[in-house]
Amino acid sequence: MEAVFNSTGHRLQIPDVVSGEGAYLVDGRGNRYLDLESGVWCTSVGHGNPRVNDAIRAQMGILTHAGFCYSNPVVEAAAESVLSICGMEGGAAVFLSSGSEGIDYARQAVRSITKRNRSLTFHDAYLGSLSSVRDRTANWSIIDWERCESCPDRRRPVDCDHLDDIPDDVAEFLFEPGSSSGQVRFAPVPLVQKVVDLVRSNGGKIIANEVTTGIGRTGSWFGHEHYDIRPDLIVIGKGIGNGYPVSVVAMNAATSQELESAEFQYMQSHQNDPLGAAVAKEVISVIQDDALIERAARIGPMFLTALEGLLAHPAVLDVRGRGLMFAVDLRDELTGGEVFRTLLERGFIVGHRGATLRMDPPLTIGEDEFLSFVAAFDELVAAA
Protein backbone atom coordinates (compact mmCIF):
# COMPACT_ATOMS: atom_id res chain seq x y z
CA MET A 1 0.00 0.00 0.00
CA GLU A 2 1.30 3.46 -0.92
CA ALA A 3 2.04 5.82 1.96
CA VAL A 4 0.69 8.78 -0.01
CA PHE A 5 -3.11 8.67 -0.22
CA ASN A 6 -4.46 9.08 -3.75
CA SER A 7 -7.88 10.74 -3.58
CA THR A 8 -8.02 11.75 -7.25
CA GLY A 9 -9.90 8.70 -8.48
CA HIS A 10 -7.17 8.17 -11.09
CA ARG A 11 -4.72 5.28 -11.10
CA LEU A 12 -1.11 6.42 -10.77
CA GLN A 13 0.29 6.25 -14.29
CA ILE A 14 3.94 6.91 -13.41
CA PRO A 15 4.47 6.11 -9.72
CA ASP A 16 8.14 7.11 -9.57
CA VAL A 17 8.75 10.44 -11.31
CA VAL A 18 12.17 11.55 -10.08
CA SER A 19 13.05 14.64 -12.15
CA GLY A 20 11.92 17.03 -14.83
CA GLU A 21 13.56 19.32 -17.35
CA GLY A 22 11.87 21.54 -19.90
CA ALA A 23 9.00 19.62 -21.47
CA TYR A 24 10.13 16.26 -20.06
CA LEU A 25 9.63 14.14 -16.95
CA VAL A 26 11.93 11.26 -16.01
CA ASP A 27 11.04 8.18 -13.96
CA GLY A 28 13.21 6.08 -11.67
CA ARG A 29 14.17 3.73 -14.51
CA GLY A 30 15.44 6.58 -16.67
CA ASN A 31 12.45 6.68 -19.03
CA ARG A 32 11.74 10.13 -20.47
CA TYR A 33 8.20 11.36 -21.05
CA LEU A 34 7.19 14.38 -23.13
CA ASP A 35 4.79 16.13 -20.74
CA LEU A 36 2.03 17.50 -22.97
CA GLU A 37 -0.08 18.24 -19.90
CA SER A 38 2.43 20.65 -18.30
CA GLY A 39 1.92 18.98 -14.94
CA VAL A 40 -1.84 19.65 -15.25
CA TRP A 41 -1.50 23.14 -16.82
CA CYS A 42 1.07 24.24 -14.23
CA THR A 43 4.59 24.26 -15.71
CA SER A 44 4.00 27.07 -18.17
CA VAL A 45 7.71 27.79 -18.75
CA GLY A 46 8.94 24.21 -18.38
CA HIS A 47 9.96 21.86 -15.61
CA GLY A 48 12.97 23.09 -13.65
CA ASN A 49 13.11 26.45 -15.39
CA PRO A 50 16.49 27.85 -14.28
CA ARG A 51 15.35 31.45 -13.92
CA VAL A 52 12.34 30.50 -11.80
CA ASN A 53 14.46 28.17 -9.68
CA ASP A 54 17.06 30.91 -9.18
CA ALA A 55 14.31 33.31 -8.06
CA ILE A 56 13.06 30.73 -5.55
CA ARG A 57 16.54 30.18 -4.11
CA ALA A 58 17.22 33.91 -3.90
CA GLN A 59 13.95 34.72 -2.12
CA MET A 60 14.35 31.76 0.24
CA GLY A 61 17.60 33.32 1.39
CA ILE A 62 15.80 36.57 2.21
CA LEU A 63 12.25 35.91 3.40
CA THR A 64 9.71 33.20 2.57
CA HIS A 65 6.80 34.08 4.85
CA ALA A 66 5.72 37.14 6.80
CA GLY A 67 2.01 36.74 7.55
CA PHE A 68 -1.10 38.43 6.18
CA CYS A 69 -0.69 41.55 8.34
CA TYR A 70 2.61 42.52 6.69
CA SER A 71 3.76 43.49 3.24
CA ASN A 72 7.08 43.25 1.50
CA PRO A 73 8.75 45.00 -1.47
CA VAL A 74 8.70 41.85 -3.63
CA VAL A 75 4.97 41.42 -2.99
CA GLU A 76 4.31 44.99 -4.08
CA ALA A 77 6.49 44.59 -7.18
CA ALA A 78 4.79 41.30 -8.11
CA ALA A 79 1.36 42.88 -7.69
CA GLU A 80 2.33 45.66 -10.09
CA SER A 81 3.50 43.07 -12.65
CA VAL A 82 0.25 41.14 -12.37
CA LEU A 83 -1.91 44.24 -12.67
CA SER A 84 0.08 45.34 -15.71
CA ILE A 85 -0.55 42.15 -17.70
CA CYS A 86 -4.21 42.27 -16.60
CA GLY A 87 -4.65 45.84 -17.81
CA MET A 88 -5.75 46.77 -14.29
CA GLU A 89 -3.20 49.43 -13.39
CA GLY A 90 -4.39 51.27 -10.31
CA GLY A 91 -6.21 48.19 -9.04
CA ALA A 92 -5.08 45.69 -6.45
CA ALA A 93 -3.93 42.06 -6.24
CA VAL A 94 -3.78 39.45 -3.50
CA PHE A 95 -1.55 36.35 -3.60
CA LEU A 96 -2.90 33.02 -2.39
CA SER A 97 -1.92 29.36 -2.79
CA SER A 98 -4.31 27.71 -5.26
CA GLY A 99 -6.81 28.45 -7.99
CA SER A 100 -9.65 27.03 -5.88
CA GLU A 101 -8.73 29.42 -3.10
CA GLY A 102 -8.61 32.29 -5.58
CA ILE A 103 -12.12 31.56 -6.83
CA ASP A 104 -13.38 31.41 -3.24
CA TYR A 105 -11.69 34.73 -2.41
CA ALA A 106 -13.15 36.44 -5.49
CA ARG A 107 -16.69 35.20 -4.73
CA GLN A 108 -16.50 36.28 -1.11
CA ALA A 109 -15.18 39.68 -2.16
CA VAL A 110 -18.01 40.20 -4.64
CA ARG A 111 -20.62 39.20 -2.06
CA SER A 112 -19.16 41.74 0.34
CA ILE A 113 -19.62 44.43 -2.32
CA THR A 114 -22.98 43.47 -3.83
CA LYS A 115 -24.66 42.04 -0.71
CA ARG A 116 -25.96 39.24 -2.96
CA ASN A 117 -25.39 35.49 -2.89
CA ARG A 118 -26.49 34.19 -6.31
CA SER A 119 -23.84 33.05 -8.81
CA LEU A 120 -24.11 32.63 -12.58
CA THR A 121 -21.91 30.36 -14.68
CA PHE A 122 -21.96 28.07 -17.71
CA HIS A 123 -22.95 24.43 -17.37
CA ASP A 124 -19.51 23.08 -18.26
CA ALA A 125 -17.37 25.42 -16.15
CA TYR A 126 -14.93 23.96 -13.65
CA LEU A 127 -14.53 26.40 -10.78
CA GLY A 128 -12.29 24.54 -8.37
CA SER A 129 -12.35 21.71 -5.87
CA LEU A 130 -14.13 23.43 -2.96
CA SER A 131 -17.63 22.25 -2.11
CA SER A 132 -18.92 25.83 -2.36
CA VAL A 133 -18.56 25.66 -6.16
CA ARG A 134 -19.00 21.93 -6.74
CA ASP A 135 -22.47 21.84 -5.19
CA ARG A 136 -24.61 24.07 -7.41
CA THR A 137 -28.02 23.09 -6.06
CA ALA A 138 -28.68 26.38 -4.23
CA ASN A 139 -28.10 30.03 -5.16
CA TRP A 140 -26.78 29.17 -8.61
CA SER A 141 -28.08 30.03 -12.07
CA ILE A 142 -26.65 27.84 -14.82
CA ILE A 143 -26.61 28.61 -18.54
CA ASP A 144 -26.41 25.46 -20.65
CA TRP A 145 -24.98 26.70 -23.94
CA GLU A 146 -24.73 23.17 -25.43
CA ARG A 147 -27.42 23.82 -28.01
CA CYS A 148 -25.62 26.99 -29.10
CA GLU A 149 -23.49 24.69 -31.25
CA SER A 150 -26.49 24.18 -33.54
CA CYS A 151 -27.85 27.72 -33.27
CA PRO A 152 -28.75 29.03 -36.75
CA ASP A 153 -26.96 32.29 -35.98
CA ARG A 154 -24.17 32.01 -33.41
CA ARG A 155 -23.17 35.59 -34.15
CA ARG A 156 -26.23 37.35 -32.79
CA PRO A 157 -27.82 35.83 -29.65
CA VAL A 158 -29.74 39.05 -28.98
CA ASP A 159 -33.02 37.17 -28.64
CA CYS A 160 -31.47 33.99 -27.23
CA ASP A 161 -33.73 32.47 -24.58
CA HIS A 162 -30.63 31.78 -22.45
CA LEU A 163 -30.77 35.44 -21.52
CA ASP A 164 -34.26 35.04 -20.04
CA ASP A 165 -32.79 32.71 -17.41
CA ILE A 166 -30.53 35.35 -15.86
CA PRO A 167 -32.01 36.76 -12.61
CA ASP A 168 -31.63 40.40 -11.68
CA ASP A 169 -29.97 39.58 -8.35
CA VAL A 170 -26.83 37.82 -9.65
CA ALA A 171 -23.75 38.69 -7.61
CA GLU A 172 -21.29 37.58 -10.26
CA PHE A 173 -20.86 35.85 -13.58
CA LEU A 174 -18.04 33.33 -13.20
CA PHE A 175 -16.63 32.86 -16.69
CA GLU A 176 -14.15 30.12 -17.55
CA PRO A 177 -13.05 31.17 -21.05
CA GLY A 178 -12.37 27.97 -22.91
CA SER A 179 -11.19 25.18 -20.63
CA SER A 180 -14.73 23.82 -20.23
CA SER A 181 -13.71 21.41 -17.45
CA GLY A 182 -10.80 20.21 -19.56
CA GLN A 183 -12.85 19.66 -22.72
CA VAL A 184 -11.44 22.74 -24.52
CA ARG A 185 -14.74 24.10 -25.76
CA PHE A 186 -15.48 27.75 -26.46
CA ALA A 187 -18.81 29.44 -25.80
CA PRO A 188 -20.00 31.83 -28.57
CA VAL A 189 -18.51 35.32 -28.26
CA PRO A 190 -21.83 37.20 -28.66
CA LEU A 191 -23.48 35.10 -25.95
CA VAL A 192 -20.67 35.79 -23.48
CA GLN A 193 -20.68 39.49 -24.27
CA LYS A 194 -24.45 39.74 -23.82
CA VAL A 195 -24.34 37.87 -20.50
CA VAL A 196 -21.57 40.19 -19.30
CA ASP A 197 -23.59 43.26 -20.30
CA LEU A 198 -26.76 42.02 -18.58
CA VAL A 199 -25.06 41.03 -15.33
CA ARG A 200 -23.10 44.27 -15.16
CA SER A 201 -26.18 46.42 -15.95
CA ASN A 202 -27.92 44.77 -12.97
CA GLY A 203 -25.08 45.63 -10.61
CA GLY A 204 -23.27 42.28 -10.70
CA LYS A 205 -19.56 41.68 -11.15
CA ILE A 206 -17.64 39.70 -13.78
CA ILE A 207 -15.04 37.19 -12.55
CA ALA A 208 -12.79 35.60 -15.17
CA ASN A 209 -11.54 32.20 -14.05
CA GLU A 210 -8.14 32.14 -15.77
CA VAL A 211 -6.61 29.38 -13.65
CA THR A 212 -6.21 27.10 -16.67
CA THR A 213 -6.58 29.56 -19.57
CA GLY A 214 -4.30 32.35 -18.33
CA ILE A 215 -0.57 33.09 -18.51
CA GLY A 216 -0.28 32.62 -22.27
CA ARG A 217 -2.12 29.31 -22.62
CA THR A 218 -4.49 30.59 -25.34
CA GLY A 219 -1.95 32.68 -27.26
CA SER A 220 -2.90 35.78 -25.25
CA TRP A 221 -2.13 36.59 -21.65
CA PHE A 222 -5.71 35.58 -20.78
CA GLY A 223 -8.50 33.60 -22.37
CA HIS A 224 -11.10 36.32 -21.84
CA GLU A 225 -9.19 38.56 -24.27
CA HIS A 226 -10.60 36.45 -27.11
CA TYR A 227 -14.06 37.66 -26.05
CA ASP A 228 -13.25 41.37 -25.94
CA ILE A 229 -14.56 41.76 -22.39
CA ARG A 230 -13.03 43.43 -19.34
CA PRO A 231 -13.63 41.50 -16.12
CA ASP A 232 -13.85 43.17 -12.73
CA LEU A 233 -11.75 40.42 -11.15
CA ILE A 234 -9.35 37.87 -12.67
CA VAL A 235 -8.36 34.68 -10.87
CA ILE A 236 -4.93 33.37 -11.93
CA GLY A 237 -3.31 30.11 -10.87
CA LYS A 238 -1.41 27.05 -12.09
CA GLY A 239 0.91 28.54 -14.77
CA ILE A 240 1.69 31.65 -12.71
CA GLY A 241 3.73 29.48 -10.33
CA ASN A 242 5.33 27.09 -12.86
CA GLY A 243 4.70 24.27 -10.41
CA TYR A 244 5.04 26.32 -7.22
CA PRO A 245 1.69 26.67 -5.38
CA VAL A 246 0.72 30.30 -5.86
CA SER A 247 -2.39 32.00 -7.22
CA VAL A 248 -3.48 35.61 -7.63
CA VAL A 249 -6.75 37.50 -7.58
CA ALA A 250 -6.45 40.76 -9.52
CA MET A 251 -9.18 43.39 -9.40
CA ASN A 252 -9.67 46.68 -11.18
CA ALA A 253 -9.46 50.02 -9.38
CA ALA A 254 -13.23 50.45 -8.97
CA THR A 255 -13.63 46.99 -7.43
CA SER A 256 -10.68 47.41 -5.06
CA GLN A 257 -12.09 50.75 -3.86
CA GLU A 258 -15.53 49.21 -3.32
CA LEU A 259 -13.97 46.31 -1.45
CA GLU A 260 -12.05 48.64 0.83
CA SER A 261 -15.22 50.58 1.59
CA ALA A 262 -17.03 47.31 2.36
CA GLU A 263 -14.38 46.52 5.01
CA PHE A 264 -13.90 43.06 3.53
CA GLN A 265 -11.82 40.67 5.65
CA TYR A 266 -10.12 37.49 4.45
CA MET A 267 -7.21 35.84 6.24
CA GLN A 268 -5.20 32.81 5.16
CA SER A 269 -1.84 31.68 6.55
CA HIS A 270 -0.08 32.02 3.19
CA GLN A 271 -1.81 35.16 1.96
CA ASN A 272 0.70 37.46 0.21
CA ASP A 273 3.72 35.26 0.93
CA PRO A 274 6.93 36.85 -0.42
CA LEU A 275 8.16 33.54 -1.87
CA GLY A 276 5.01 32.91 -3.90
CA ALA A 277 4.99 36.51 -5.08
CA ALA A 278 8.65 36.27 -6.17
CA VAL A 279 7.84 33.17 -8.23
CA ALA A 280 4.86 34.82 -9.93
CA LYS A 281 6.91 37.92 -10.76
CA GLU A 282 9.70 35.85 -12.30
CA VAL A 283 7.34 33.69 -14.38
CA ILE A 284 5.83 36.87 -15.87
CA SER A 285 9.33 38.19 -16.61
CA VAL A 286 10.40 34.95 -18.32
CA ILE A 287 7.31 34.98 -20.53
CA GLN A 288 7.88 38.63 -21.44
CA ASP A 289 11.63 38.35 -22.02
CA ASP A 290 11.30 35.23 -24.18
CA ALA A 291 8.20 36.52 -26.06
CA LEU A 292 6.35 33.31 -25.20
CA ILE A 293 2.89 34.85 -25.68
CA GLU A 294 3.76 35.76 -29.24
CA ARG A 295 5.33 32.34 -29.76
CA ALA A 296 2.19 30.53 -28.56
CA ALA A 297 0.07 32.65 -30.91
CA ARG A 298 2.40 31.74 -33.78
CA ILE A 299 2.97 28.01 -33.29
CA GLY A 300 -0.46 27.20 -31.84
CA PRO A 301 -2.29 27.35 -35.20
CA MET A 302 0.46 25.25 -36.78
CA PHE A 303 0.07 22.59 -34.09
CA LEU A 304 -3.71 22.69 -34.47
CA THR A 305 -3.41 22.14 -38.22
CA ALA A 306 -1.17 19.13 -37.58
CA LEU A 307 -3.71 17.68 -35.15
CA GLU A 308 -6.56 18.31 -37.57
CA GLY A 309 -4.83 15.88 -39.93
CA LEU A 310 -5.99 13.16 -37.52
CA LEU A 311 -9.56 13.76 -38.68
CA ALA A 312 -8.72 11.63 -41.72
CA HIS A 313 -9.09 8.59 -39.45
CA PRO A 314 -12.56 7.25 -38.52
CA ALA A 315 -11.50 6.90 -34.87
CA VAL A 316 -11.17 10.71 -34.54
CA LEU A 317 -14.41 12.69 -34.25
CA ASP A 318 -13.27 16.23 -33.48
CA VAL A 319 -10.20 18.40 -32.89
CA ARG A 320 -10.33 21.73 -31.05
CA GLY A 321 -7.73 24.25 -29.95
CA ARG A 322 -6.70 27.77 -29.16
CA GLY A 323 -3.13 28.87 -28.60
CA LEU A 324 -1.37 25.92 -26.93
CA MET A 325 -4.52 24.25 -25.61
CA PHE A 326 -5.93 21.35 -27.64
CA ALA A 327 -8.44 18.52 -27.36
CA VAL A 328 -9.07 15.49 -29.57
CA ASP A 329 -12.32 13.54 -29.31
CA LEU A 330 -12.05 9.86 -30.15
CA ARG A 331 -15.02 7.68 -31.08
CA ASP A 332 -15.60 6.16 -27.63
CA GLU A 333 -14.14 5.88 -24.12
CA LEU A 334 -12.58 2.49 -24.81
CA THR A 335 -10.59 3.90 -27.73
CA GLY A 336 -9.65 6.96 -25.65
CA GLY A 337 -8.30 4.80 -22.85
CA GLU A 338 -6.35 2.51 -25.16
CA VAL A 339 -4.74 5.38 -27.08
CA PHE A 340 -3.93 7.22 -23.83
CA ARG A 341 -2.17 4.18 -22.34
CA THR A 342 -0.25 3.40 -25.52
CA LEU A 343 0.92 7.01 -25.83
CA LEU A 344 2.16 6.83 -22.25
CA GLU A 345 4.05 3.62 -23.02
CA ARG A 346 5.70 5.44 -25.92
CA GLY A 347 6.72 8.34 -23.71
CA PHE A 348 3.93 10.90 -24.24
CA ILE A 349 1.82 12.30 -21.38
CA VAL A 350 -1.58 13.76 -22.33
CA GLY A 351 -4.69 14.62 -20.37
CA HIS A 352 -7.38 11.95 -20.49
CA ARG A 353 -11.09 12.17 -19.80
CA GLY A 354 -13.30 9.51 -21.32
CA ALA A 355 -13.07 9.68 -25.09
CA THR A 356 -11.22 13.01 -25.01
CA LEU A 357 -7.46 13.50 -24.94
CA ARG A 358 -6.08 16.94 -24.02
CA MET A 359 -2.75 18.60 -24.79
CA ASP A 360 -1.51 21.64 -22.84
CA PRO A 361 2.25 21.66 -23.46
CA PRO A 362 4.65 24.14 -21.85
CA LEU A 363 4.91 27.43 -23.74
CA THR A 364 8.56 26.52 -24.29
CA ILE A 365 7.95 23.21 -26.09
CA GLY A 366 9.97 22.65 -29.25
CA GLU A 367 8.16 22.44 -32.55
CA ASP A 368 9.86 19.15 -33.43
CA GLU A 369 8.89 17.73 -30.03
CA PHE A 370 5.21 18.40 -30.56
CA LEU A 371 5.21 17.21 -34.15
CA SER A 372 6.88 13.95 -33.08
CA PHE A 373 3.96 13.43 -30.73
CA VAL A 374 1.45 14.09 -33.54
CA ALA A 375 3.21 11.49 -35.69
CA ALA A 376 2.91 8.88 -32.93
CA PHE A 377 -0.71 9.89 -32.28
CA ASP A 378 -1.50 9.57 -35.99
CA GLU A 379 -0.03 6.07 -36.11
CA LEU A 380 -2.11 4.92 -33.15
CA VAL A 381 -5.46 6.30 -34.31
CA ALA A 382 -4.86 4.94 -37.80
CA ALA A 383 -4.67 1.48 -36.27
CA ALA A 384 -7.49 1.98 -33.78
**Can you count the helices (H) and strands (E) in the chain?**
11, 15
Domain assignment present for residue 35? The answer is no
For the residues of 77-130, what is the DSSP string, one character each?
HHHHHHHHHHT-TTSEEEEES-HHHHHHHHHHHHHHHH---EEEEETT----SS
Q: What is the tens place of the pLDDT at every residue in 143-191?
A: 999 877 666 555 555 557 768 779 999 999 999 999 888 899 999 999 9
Domain assignment present for residue 111? The answer is yes
Do 264 and 313 fall within a single domain? no
Domain assignment present for residue 6? The answer is no
Domain assignment present for residue 141? The answer is yes
Half-sphere exposure of 288 (CA within 13 A, CB side): 11
Q: What is the tens place of the pLDDT at every residue in 295-326?
A: 999 999 999 999 999 999 999 999 999 999 99
pLDDT in tens, the chain (384 residues): 577 777 766 777 888 999 999 999 999 999 999 999 999 999 999 999 999 999 999 999 999 999 888 889 999 999 999 999 999 999 999 999 999 999 999 999 999 999 999 999 999 999 999 999 999 989 999 999 987 766 655 555 555 776 877 999 999 999 999 988 889 999 999 999 999 999 999 999 999 999 999 999 999 999 999 999 999 999 999 999 999 999 999 999 999 999 999 989 999 999 999 999 999 999 999 999 999 999 999 999 999 999 999 999 999 999 999 999 999 999 999 999 999 999 999 999 999 999 999 999 999 999 999 999 999 999 999 998
Do 210 and 74 fall within a single domain? yes
Decide: 22 and 47 in contact? Cβ < 8 Å.
yes
Sequence-ordered alpha helix ranges (H) in the chain:
38-41, 50-60, 73-86, 99-114, 131-134, 189-201, 253-261, 274-289, 292-308, 333-345, 367-383
pTM more than 0.85: yes
Do 55 and 188 fall within a single domain? yes
- Provide the domain count of the chain: 2
SS3 assignment, position 295: helix
Do 282 and 299 fall within a single domain? no
Domain of 317: which CATH number?
3.90.1150.10
Do 155 and 196 fall within a single domain? yes
Decide: 209 and 203 in contact? Cβ < 8 Å.
no
Do 279 and 365 fall within a single domain? no
The DSSP 8-state label assigned to residue 248 in this structure reads: E
Do 271 and 339 fall within a single domain? no
Do 277 and 305 fall within a single domain? no
SS3 assignment, position 153: coil
Instruction: Write down the pLDDT at residue 319.
Output: 98
Among 274, 289, 304, give the residue marking a domain's end: 289
Instruction: Write down the pLDDT at residue 148.
Output: 78
Domain of 202: which CATH number?
3.40.640.10
Residue 141: domain span: 51-289
Decide: 76 and 283 in contact? Cβ < 8 Å.
no
Instruction: Give helix 333-345 / helix 367-383 axis angle, nearest 10°.
Output: 130
